[in-house]
Amino acid sequence: MPGLRTFALTVAVRGGARMEDETRSGWSHLLEHLVFKGAGDMGAREIVERIEAEGGSINAATGYERTSFEIRALHGSLPLAMQIVSDLVFRPTLDPAEIVREKDVVAQEIAEAFDTPDDHVFEMAQTRAYAGQALGRPILGTIDSLKAADRSAVADWRARLYSPDRMVVAVSGAVEENELLALAERWFGPEAATPLDPLAPAVFVGGEARLTRKIEQANLVFQLPSMSALDPRLPALRLFTEILGGGMASRLFQSAREDRGLAYAIDAYQEAYEDAGLLGVYAGAAADRAVELAEVSAAELLDLAEKGPTDAELSRAKAVLNASLWMADESPASRAGRNAAQALIFGAPVSSEDSAARILAQSADDLRAVGRSMIEAGRSATAVLGPKAAAPAGQAFTTRLTASAASR
């Protein structure tokens, strides 16, 4: 990216919580923590000191299908950044004492997620959506599933998960291609590949989850099965999601918040995995109005699916997604992360011009077809966390959808 003095490095691995069996649940996230406790010739403190001494920053994240390591730094620091990430993924120390300590840290993280209602309710919904599957288990794992993670077992899992044939090295910003290729070959080329068991197909199961807690507000999540990352209908789904609950002009915000005052926070989102996906609605509401909010959410979803968007809605959603695409294109970190993910999913990055063209080409009929396909699947996953009065909200959402599907 000409004119920049900084770069963003992302090393993304096609490996995460979805690759775990039940006995290893949470191990990918634990491993991501552990590599920062020592790698190569560096201790935990030296890893961050070396990066920060150059004015840079380092971070990492574990998802269901990918783990990523990210460094932002000034031009000239790429050799150091590549060496450090290589040490993290291929040569972590995995000190047994650090493993014990980090298990305690993750246990606190698990407890914190449980104590945060607007975090835990998503975990509840995910568990119902993909019940009995790796996608339905929390990325953090459980205290019980982490007990067996000793040094030998974690080292074996690292070798299987962080395999170079499932890695992409992406750099954006102030970078020279020849230098990057030489560094990638030096620090990531010689490592041997390790096979990983093939993924079992994901199946959206659906169901209802309730948890009564004495808190002030009810937290609600409603989910439907939708499109995978490889589905050509995904651009239509993104526009559908934006119109339904993507911003202050969205249907849910205007109907539930502005017109009725049912919720302070309400939005729609979508998750696209390699072979599955979901559309979700999240809202926080007073317990005694949760059922009404659920019914309004279902009604707005049904109306958009059955009638499609207005011309003004479709035009506005296209403008929002198009603008967000080009804004992200001007960020080295966003571009590196996006290109790495696309290379893992599609085999190569997708140009912003192609992405924009696909978004702008969608019609109202395309969005209507996407909406109908989700409703006709006849499955939903709901989660309600909060006072007892809110408990029927999940069933209210499902009943409204089921009644509509049955009447068609």
Q: State which of 124, 155, 188 marks the end of a domain.
A: 188
Note the pLDDT of residue 405.
Answer: 62
Q: How far apart are CA 401 and CA 372, in angstroms?
A: 11
On whether the CB atoms of residues 244 and 224 are closer than 8 A, the answer is no
Residue 199 lies in a domain: no
- Pair 114, 178 in one domain: yes
Cα–Cα distance, 219 to 285 (Å, whole number): 7
Considering the chain, what is the average pLDDT of its residues? 96
Same domain, 220 and 304: yes
User: How confident is the model at residue 404, as a pLDDT?
Assistant: 65
Q: Are residues 140 and 256 in the same domain?
A: no
pLDDT, tens only, 25-73: 999 999 999 999 999 999 999 999 999 999 999 999 999 999 999 999 9
pLDDT band (50, 70, 90) for residue 196: confident
* Ramachandran sector of residue 126 (left: φ over 0; alpha: ψ -120 to 50; beta: rest): alpha
CATH at residue 79: 3.30.830.10
> Could you say which DSSP state residue 18 is in?
G
Q: Is residue 224 part of a domain?
A: yes
- 178 Cα distance to chain centroid: 32
Q: Does 151 share its domain with 224? A: no
DSSP string of 33-45, one letter each residue: HHGGGEETTEEHH
> Do 362 and 295 share a structural domain?
yes
Residue 112 lies in a domain: yes
Residue 1 resides in a domain = no
| Among candidate residues 188, 215, 233, the one where a domain is terminated | 188
* Amino acid residing at 210: R
Residue carrying the six token digits 């099965």: 225
Yes or no: say if 395 and 295 are a contact pair by the CB < 8 Å rule.
no
Read off the pLDDT band of 408 (50, 70, 90). Answer: low
Q: Are 204 and 374 in contact (CB under 8 A)?
A: no
| pLDDT at site 403 | 78
Q: Are residues 293 and 167 in the same domain?
A: no
Q: Please report which confidence band the pLDDT of residue 407 belongs to, taking 50, 70 and 90 as the band edges.
A: low
Q: Give the list of residues 6+ apart from residue 175 with CB closer than 8 angstroms, or none.
A: 7, 75, 78
**259: how many CB neighbours lie within 10 A of its CB?**
10
Q: How confident is the model at residue 198 (pLDDT cuts 50, 70, 90)?
A: confident
d(CA 139, CA 60): 14
Q: Give yes or no: residues 130 and 261 share one domain.
A: no
Give the sheet arrangement for strand 217-225, strand by strand: 207-212, 381-386, 217-225, 277-286, 263-272
Do 118 and 238 lie in a common domain?
no
Query: How many structural domains are present in the chain?
Result: 2
Do 120 and 227 lie in a common domain?
Answer: no
Residue 34, in any domain of the structure? yes
Segment 338-358 mean pLDDT: 96
In a domain, 272, yes or no: yes
Do 383 and 247 lie in a common domain? Answer: yes
pLDDT (tens digit, 9 = 90+) per residue, 242-275?
Answer: 999 999 999 999 999 999 999 989 999 999 999 9
Rounded Cα distance, 271 and 256, in Å: 23
- Asked if the structure places residue 195 within a domain, the reply is no
Question: Quick one: what percent of the chain has pLDDT higher than 70?
Answer: 99
Reported confidence tier of residue 123, pLDDT bands at 50, 70, 90 = very high
Are residues 269 and 167 part of one domain? no
By CB atoms closer than 10 A (0-12, 13-18, 19+), residue 97 is: exposed
Angle at CA of residue 383, ends 377 and 387, nearest 5°? 150
pTM score, whole prediction: 0.95
- Range(s) of the domain holding residue 364: 207-407
121/275 Cα distance (integer angstroms): 24
pLDDT of residue 127: 97
